[in-house]
Amino acid sequence: MTENLELQETWPQIKTVGLAGIIVTFSGALSEPANRAAIAFSAAVGEMEWGEIEESNSTLVSTFLRIDLSVHKSEPIIERLQELVDSKDWLSALLPTGRTLWRVPTLFGTGRAPQLAEAAEMAGRTVEQAITDLSTTRMRVLTIGFAPGQPYLGTLPEHWNLPRQTNITPNVPAGSLVTAVRQFCLFPYDTPTGWRHVGATGFLSFRPNSAHPFPLSAGDEMIFDPVSEAEFVQIESVDHSGNGGAQTEVLG
Amino acid sequence: MSDHLIVRSIGPAAAIQDLGRPGFMSVGLTRGGASDPTALHEGAALLRQAPSSAVLEMAGMGGVFEASTKIRIALTGAVMDASIDGVSVQWNASHSVSAGSILKIGAMRQGNFGYLHVGGGFNTPSYLGTRGCHLSAGLGRLIQAGDQLPIGEDKGKDAGCHLVPEQRLDGGKIRFVRSMQSNKFDDATMTRFTKTKFRRDPRGNRQGIRMDFVGESFQSGGQLNIVSEVTIAGDIQITGDGTPFVLMHECQTTGGYPRIGTILPCDLNKVAQAPVGSLLRFELLTLEEGSAVQARANAVLSGLRKSVKPLVRDVSSIQDLLSYQLISGAISATDAPLD
């Protein structure tokens, strides 16, 4: 019965989240346009500077607005949000300007990222082809979550739709580039994971002692440039900022 | 060196806490903060200072402390045995502690999280703007024996006061409202959820607490193909095997399990303080009702100072009763004991 109800669902949907806020969801499944809509809508609401909104956050397919619903009535805010939703086709909205493109030197494979060969084989690619796929696809920060600053990046070509492994790898180090379901994660801390470890970087997505502890924002783009083991070691020896030798440019 | 509290010994899970660190959801950091924020408001009312002052949160057991100078303290939250220089002192009360005196906080009598407040608040280093420890994010650390906790300037004078705390240490009725995924659960499942007697499971931490129950699990439609979505403290998440987990203040910012509803912030304290095995029942309110209940609870917290009263000595609690000159009538019924 619930499945029938879901078939009738239409998007976008605006709903309350406990007494903590209101969420605008653009799709029932992850898609590139829905993610773009969530990021663009979050930026548009930010520009409105509505006093009731304490913070906003874009997740994979939604924009969440934190509003104290024990203070503010939800109905008038939902009405205003509905007007903004109806004002354009958010699924074809342009991403906001001023985002950052990051080029991150990455050591693919070797003992520092031991699951590249396994992942390549599952994707039906040679190791060389795999490095080309993983280093030339321009990835977007779909959302940040799970751990502080941790990006979910998409989207790799269809043959990289690898399931998570059934066994958890007990520990991959901070800066590890891991993949599953056509996405990358870049871990800010040493962490256990079910995603496959294909690259090593010196890029830390959470830098608690820095003036800019969170370098990434949803909508930023990342390219993982392959470097040799010798180049990687050289970068590690000179860049202790958490940037791992990354270069940036502002996207217009 | 500034005034400080010397930690002589400490339980395994004590940390500096405050009302949390809002504003970082978009970069993957939940608010965090004390497990029982009401206790922070109570301590602040007792010491007549801001509820944002940093406190020591003690989970399960307390510690032994020595003050470097005369300080004011307040004790709130889970009820624990406490004494100053061997003389027991009342919980949910404020006291003076002389320089060099030993404050002992021992076994927990009721609840899970007890709080030690100091006049002026703890002046420990702040991370991303506030002092509260957020262990799952790696901000701050647990307190260890030998630590010296700096204390801020105390502008207040009152001590020897108490208040009657809101009842929240033994589980009971937990009110919640529907949330964005509640419609994934059919009416029969929702009704059964609100009629089920849950017990707080031993599996729990500052990120989430499992609810134990007997009977059929609480499955939603389409449980496996839900897109990961924003999570907030108080969400009642139903995991793959149909078991509810209540997400607590250090939960992650997103999660892939459906949420049947969200507990009112004013009742989340009760979940945090519910001892393992205690009974919990969930009552569904409309958004309008929930909003009104929460607004009333907020008003109570901001008016707490009015309910602070001077301590009245209870003769049965005076351990050194025989040392007093009771016959001459030289003892006050209202002075602050153990000053």
The amino acid at B140: G
Whether the predicted pLDDT of B337 surpasses 60: no
Are B271 and B172 a contacting pair, CB within 8 Å? no
Q: Which residues of B touch A217 (CB under 8 A)?
A: 26-27
With a cut of 90, say whether residue B313 has pLDDT above it. Answer: no
Verify whether the Cβ–Cβ distance A2 to B221 is below 8 Å. yes
Residues in chain A closer than 8 A to B254 (CB atoms): 59-60, 143, 145-146
pLDDT at B315: 60
The pLDDT assigned to B178 comes to 97
Contacts of B263 in chain A (CB under 8 A): 18
pLDDT in tens, B277-306: 999 999 999 999 999 999 999 999 999 999
Q: Which of A2, A210, A216 to mutate to test the interface with B (most CBs of B within 10 A)?
A: A2
Number of independent structural domains in chain A:
2
Spell out the alpha helix ranges (H) of chain B. Answer: 37-47, 187-195, 265-273, 287-302
CB contact under 8 A, B220 and A2: yes
What gap in Å lies between CA B137 and CA B130, rounded to an integer? 14
Mean pLDDT of B72-85: 97
Which residue, among B241, B249, B235, B186, has the nearest Cα to B212 in the 3D structure?
B241
pLDDT at A229: 97
* Relative orientation angle of helices A116-123 and A127-136, to the nearest 10 degrees: 90
pLDDT confidence bin for B222, thresholds 50/70/90: low
- Residue A211's pLDDT is 87
Residue ending a domain, among A49, A64, A92, is A92
Contacts of A18 in chain B (CB under 8 A): 176-177, 179, 232, 234-235, 261-264
Based on DSSP, count helices (H) and strands (E) in chain A, helices before strands: 6, 14
Task: Go through B89-116 and write b for each residue having 16 or more CB atoms within 10 A of its CB, e for each that does not.
Answer: bbbbbbbbbeeebebbbeebeebbbbbb
Q: How far apart are CA B139 and CA B129, in angstroms?
A: 11
Instruction: Give yes or no for B232 touching A (CB within 8 A).
Output: yes
Q: What is the pLDDT of residue B267?
A: 98
Which of A63, A92, A121 terminates a domain? The answer is A92
Is A8 an interface residue toward B (CB < 8 Å)?
no
Tell me which residue in B27, B180, B232 faces A214 most closely, judged by beta carbons: B27
Q: Do B287 and A16 touch (CB under 8 A)?
A: yes
Which of A11, A15, A17 would you mutate first to test chain B, the one with the most B CBs within 10 A? A17
Residue B224 has pLDDT above 90, yes or no: no
- Checking if the pLDDT of B334 tops 80, the result is no
| A208: nearest CB among B22, B138, B221 | B138
Q: Are strands B198-204 and B279-285 parallel, antiparallel or unpaired?
A: antiparallel
Beta-bridge partner residues of A248: A102
Tell me, what DSSP letter sits at residue A228? Answer: -
Q: Are residues A71 and A87 in the same domain?
A: yes
Q: Give which of B140, B155, B196, B152 is closest to B173, Cα–Cα.
A: B196
The arrangement of strands across the sheet holding A62-66 comes to A13-17, A21-25, A62-66, A55-58
Tokens representing residue B155 in the block? 């502008």
DSSP H helical ranges for A110-153: 116-123, 127-136
pLDDT value of residue A52: 97
Residues of A whose CB is below 8 A from B133: none
Cβ contact A3–B26 (<8 Å): no
* Token couple for A106: 């990455």
Averaged pLDDT, A36-49: 94
B137 near A CB under 8 A: yes
Compute the distance between CA of residue B56 and CA of residue B90 in angstroms, rounded to an integer: 18
B312 has pLDDT over 90: no
- Do A133 and A106 lie in one domain? The reply is yes
- Tokens matching residue B129: 């703007």
Give contacts of B220 with chain A, Cβ < 8 Å: 2
Q: Which residues pair with A250 in a beta bridge?
A: A100
In chain A, residues 131-160 whose CB comes closer than 8 Å to chain B: 143-150
Strands of B11-137, DSSP E:
14-17, 55-59, 61-67, 71-84, 87-88, 93-97, 102-118
Interatomic CA distance for residues B119 and A6, integer angstroms: 55
Residue A191 corresponds to which tokens in the numbers above? 């962490």
Say which CATH number the domain at A75 has: 3.30.1360.40
Residue A9 Cα distances to A241, B45, B220, B301, angstroms: 47, 49, 16, 41
Closest residue of chain A to B128, computed from CA coordinates: A208
Min CA distance, A50 vs chain B (Å)? 15
Q: Which two tokens stand for residue B160?
A: 């020897």
pLDDT score at A166: 81
User: CA of A151: how far to CAs of A49, A99, B26, B132, B153, in Å?
Assistant: 26, 14, 11, 24, 41
Give the closest of B25, B137, B254 to A66, CB-based: B25
Q: Please give the mean pLDDT across all residues of chain B.
A: 91
Least CB-CB distance to A2: which of B24, B186, B292?
B186
pLDDT at B210 > cutoff 90: yes
Q: Does B135 touch chain A (CB under 8 A)?
A: no
Q: A117 and A76 share a domain?
A: no
Partners of B76 in the beta sheet?
Answer: B115
Distance between CA B6 and CA B61 in Å, rounded?
17
State whether residue B93 is helix, strand or coil.
Answer: strand
The first and second tokens of residue B289, run together, are 């009702």
pLDDT digits (tens, 9 = 90+) for A110-157: 999 999 999 999 999 999 999 999 999 999 999 999 889 999 999 999
B56-66 confidence digits (pLDDT tens): 999 999 999 99
C-alpha distances (whole Å) from A126 to each of A122, A132, A197 are 10, 10, 16
- List chain B residues with CB under 8 Å of A59: 228-230, 254
Encode B151-176: b = buried (16+ Cβ within 10 Å), e = exposed. Answer: bbebeeebbbbbbebbebbebeebbb
A71, A44: one domain: yes
Token duo for residue B81: 């045995």
* Residue A214 C-alpha, separation from nearest chain B C-alpha, in angstroms: 7
**Are residues B26 and A218, on separate chains, in Cβ contact within 8 Å?**
yes
Q: Cα separation of B244 and B237, whole Å?
A: 5
Whose tokens are 């030339």? That residue is A136
| Confidence (pLDDT) at A2 | 42
pTM: 0.90
Q: Are residues A21 and A119 in the same domain?
A: no
Please tell me the distance from the alpha carbon of residue A137 to that of residue A118, in angstroms, as a whole number: 20
Domain that holds residue A36: 2-92
Is any Cβ of chain B less than 8 angstroms from the Cβ of A29? Answer: yes
Mean pLDDT of B107-130: 95
pLDDT in the model for residue B277: 96
Residue A165 has pLDDT above 90, yes or no: no
DSSP state of B147: -
Q: How many Å separate Cα B150 from the centre of its chain?
A: 22
* Cβ atoms of B5 and B151 closer than 8 Å: yes
Name the B residues in 256-285 with CB < 8 Å from any A CB: 261-265
Q: What's the CATH number where A105 sits?
A: 2.40.100.10
Is the pLDDT at B328 greater than 90? The verdict is no
- Pick from A71, A92, A113: which residue ends a domain? A92
Same domain as A229, residue A198: yes
For residue range A186-229, list pLDDT tens digits in order.
Answer: 999 999 999 999 999 999 999 988 889 999 999 999 999 999 99
Q: Where are the domains of chain B?
A: 4-165+310-323, 172-301
Question: How is domain B172-301 classified at the architecture level of CATH?
Answer: Beta Barrel (2.40)
* A153 and A176 in a common domain: yes
Beta bridge partners of B247: B208
Residue length of chain B: 339
Which residue among A57, A149, A206 sits closest to B25, beta carbon to beta carbon?
Answer: A57
Is the domain of A125 the same as that of A58? Answer: no
The Cβ of residue B146 has, within 10 Å, a number of other Cβ atoms equal to: 10
Is B229–A59 a contact, with Cβ atoms under 8 angstroms apart? Answer: yes
